[in-house]
Chains A and B, each alone.
Chain A
Amino acid sequence: MSLLELSDVNAYYGNSHVVFDLSLSVEENEVVALLGRNGAGKTTTLRAITGTVPRRHGTIAFRGDSIVDQSVDRISNRGIKLVPEERRIFPTLTVVENLSVARDSCSGTEPRPIEEMFDIFPVLDELRENRGRNLSGGEQQMLAVARALVQNPDLLLLDEPTEGLAPVIVEDLREVLEDIVSRDVTVLITEQNVEFALDLSERAYIIESGENAWDGSIEDLRQREDLLEEYLSVGEASAD
């Protein structure tokens, strides 16, 4: 039984049909990348899993139980935590308060100590009393991941974690996420930065216009320059 299993999922953003008969699975302690061009339906897929956009057809099962039509907070309390693309740090709360709210709101899993987050993210340790709105983009991204991690998730959903970050910050984030995945955290990551995603992941799904286009191991995908070029524009980007 997979930790997460989507079968023939169709999801909509408003009235737009964005995801078509999508199927994917994530096993326990695995890191899976969900790849595709901008607008391919990656974020909508994550939102369908977390219940923030309605799924109209298909099934979504977590640990074998359907989570379809469950409320967003209930899905979260089953252990599925999303780090959204926009980070969505609580702007008027300090770093410690952002983490405290997450820790104390956790009802489905035993939360991790906040001090452990400062060990993983030393940059946040120096910013404990800073308000969320005063953090840089990279610091906010670290805090967004830490806020999800303090809830001790069974499945961590990372939506475009490098979006808008400077290359040097992306490298810092890569180190932190490598540390996190080495701690047996199950991760489903969407990412435009293909190299970043390939370095972290064991398997990948490529989606194109909301449909499954390919899936397999990272080793296989690295051999398939045609796929990287056709669906992820990696060759074109390199040519630039």
Chain B
Amino acid sequence: MVNTGLVVDQVITGLSIGSYLFLIAVGLSLIFGVLEVLNFAHGVLYMIGAYVGIMAVQSATGNFWLGLVLAALVVGLIGVVMEVGFLRRVYDRDELDQLLLTFAFVLIITDGVRYVFGSGSRIINPPPGLRFSLVLSETAAIPSYRAFVILASVLVLGGILLALRTTNFGRVVRATSSDRDMALLLGIDVPKLYTGVFFIGAALAGFGGALAAPLQSVTPELGNQVIINAFVVVVIGGLGSFTGAFVGAYLIGIMIAVGSIFAAGAGQLFPFVALIAVLLLKPEGIVGGAEA
């Protein structure tokens, strides 16, 4: 008989995993939805964000919140360099070329970070105001920082959906993602838009990495670990769908956490079973196409 308290604990852990999976998957989905590029390097952008956050906390300022802002900006700018300097040259080529190019970034950036920071893991604490627990019931409590990260992921989804529906930039992004050539015929500077979208997608990865840094040990391999789950999330949710990424991320998070009760040490098994099921039964994803 499974202990109810344990299940509740694991669901809370799953929600927490889902929240930072969403923050990486949403940028991946945004970039794919508009640029149609599967960015394998999105995981290392997330990892760089985590390191920027750690550096900010361990610097003279010691300010975690400054680290969040810096992580988004620094990683966003790295994304701009990747898009303008490299990816732009392969948009018209085979998808495999794009994938291989982003995979080369994974190897180069992972080794570069290992060279600078070493291969050891780094851990930081949540910011001082968020080190208490929120008691949900007699048997369940959630660390306040985990609750904060879940709230942040909800706010990010809300902000993206609101921006897409109510701003001109959002409308242009939706229009261009559905018909790039017609967007050009209307006079939209599509290359500039692509750079802007890549900046936002990369900045979200950086922000997510810094936000999740207090919840996990950070190593140069972090990007490689999360990118696989992020791909599973966007395939299950529906490539290019933000709501799908949100639903997919929380489903995967809960599957990993709750699944480990039933198959200790093999919680990762369940998302891949779900991935196969979605690919076979609903290949467009749970929410795919609804907003694309």
Contacts and interface: CB of A to CB of B under 8 A. Distances in A.
A101 to B, nearest CB: 5
A79 to B, nearest CB: 9
A12 to B, nearest CB: 17
B242 to A, nearest CB: 13
B185 A81 contact: yes
B184 A90 contact: no
A97 B187 contact: no
A72 B168 contact: no
Contact of B168 (A76, A88, A104): A104
Contacts of B175: 90, 93, 97-98, 101
Interface string B160-193: 0000000010011011001101111111111000
B97 interface: no
A108 B174 contact: no
Interface in A78-121: 81-82, 84, 88, 90-93, 97-98, 100-102, 104-108
A92 B174 contact: yes
B172 A101 contact: yes
Contacts of B181: 52, 72, 88
B185 A76 contact: yes
A90 B188 contact: no
Given A73-B184, A97-B171, A104-B168, A90 B179 contact: yes
A117 B276 CA distance: 49
A23 interface: no
Interface string A47-73: 000101000000000000000000111
Given A52-B181, A101-B172, A101-B175, A147 B187 contact: no
A76 B187 contact: yes
Contacts of B184: 52, 71-73, 76
Given A81-B185, A151-B186, A88 B179 contact: yes
B274 interface: no
Given A90-B179, A90-B182, A73 B172 contact: no
A77 interface: yes
Contact of B189 (A73, A82, A102, A104): A73
Contacts, number: 70
A92 B168 CA distance: 15
B186 A101 contact: yes
Contacts of A72: 181, 184-185
Nearest to B177: A92
Given A90-B179, A92-B291, A52 B171 contact: no
Interface of B is mostly: helix
Contact of B185 (A50, A97, A107): A50
B7 interface: no
Q: How large is the interface on A (under 10, 10 to 19, 20 to 34, 35 or more residues)?
A: 20 to 34
B239 to A, nearest CB: 15
In this complex, the member of B168, B171, B190 whose beta carbon has the largest number of chain A beta carbons within 10 angstroms is: B171
A97 to B, nearest CB: 5
Given A97-B171, A101-B172, A105-B172, A92 B186 contact: no
B182 A52 contact: no
Contacts of A81: 185-186
A236 to B, nearest CB: 34
A105 B186 contact: yes
A104 B185 contact: no
In this complex, the member of B184, B185, B292 whose beta carbon has the largest number of chain A beta carbons within 10 angstroms is: B185
A90 B174 contact: yes
Contacts of A88: 179, 181-182, 185
In this complex, the member of B174, B187, B189 whose beta carbon has the largest number of chain A beta carbons within 10 angstroms is: B187
A147 B292 contact: no
Contacts of A100: 168, 171
A67 to B, nearest CB: 13
Contacts of A84: 182, 185
A81 B183 CA distance: 12
A151 B187 contact: yes
A84 B182 CA distance: 9
A52 B185 contact: yes
A41 to B, nearest CB: 19
A92 B178 contact: yes
A100 B172 CA distance: 9
B15 to A, nearest CB: 30
A87 to B, nearest CB: 9
A107 B186 CA distance: 10
22 contacts: A72-B184, A72-B185, A73-B185, A77-B187, A88-B181, A90-B174, A90-B178, A90-B179, A91-B178, A92-B178, A92-B291, A92-B292, A93-B171, A93-B174, A100-B168, A101-B172, A101-B188, A104-B172, A105-B183, A105-B186, A106-B187, A108-B187
Interface of B: 168, 171-172, 174-175, 178-179, 181-190, 291-292
